[in-house]
Amino acid sequence: MQKQEVCDDFTRLLDSEVKKGNQEDRTGGGAMLSLAKKREEEGKFLFEQGIEQGIEQGIEQGIEQGIEQGIEQNKIETAKNMLREGMSMELIAKITGLSMKRIQEISKEPS
């Protein structure tokens, strides 16, 4: 259920309960208690929905970051292999997309 639908449903419920409450208050009814319980339930629903959405977004971001890190690591390994084969740093930078500075750093690392 979308936020707007939830809000619309809640507004209709609130209007309905207020009308009932106006009639029941004359006879000592508990419309306000009923309304409070429904508002609490609605709040719990929205909270749980927010938690679920947050978890889903966190998982998606984690996957994206993992993929990006894997791609970067692959570029570094390729650059190391190319350096071992004696290729020029300029060509390695062009092929891998790594900066010259990064290739120079990699070249200084122990094999």
Q: What is the pTM of this model?
A: 0.55
pLDDT at 43 over 90: no
Q: pLDDT tens-digit profile of 50-93?
A: 889 999 999 999 999 999 999 999 999 999 999 999 999 999 99
Q: How many domains does the chain have?
A: 1
Model pLDDT for residues 91-103, shown as the tens digit of each residue: 999 999 999 999 9
Contact between 56 and 38 under an 8 Å Cβ cutoff? The reply is: no
Structural domain harbouring 69: 3-108
Provide the pLDDT for residue 32: 63
Cβ atoms of 100 and 88 closer than 8 Å: no
SS3 87: coil
> pLDDT digit string (tens) for 3-35?
667 667 766 766 776 666 555 555 445 666 676
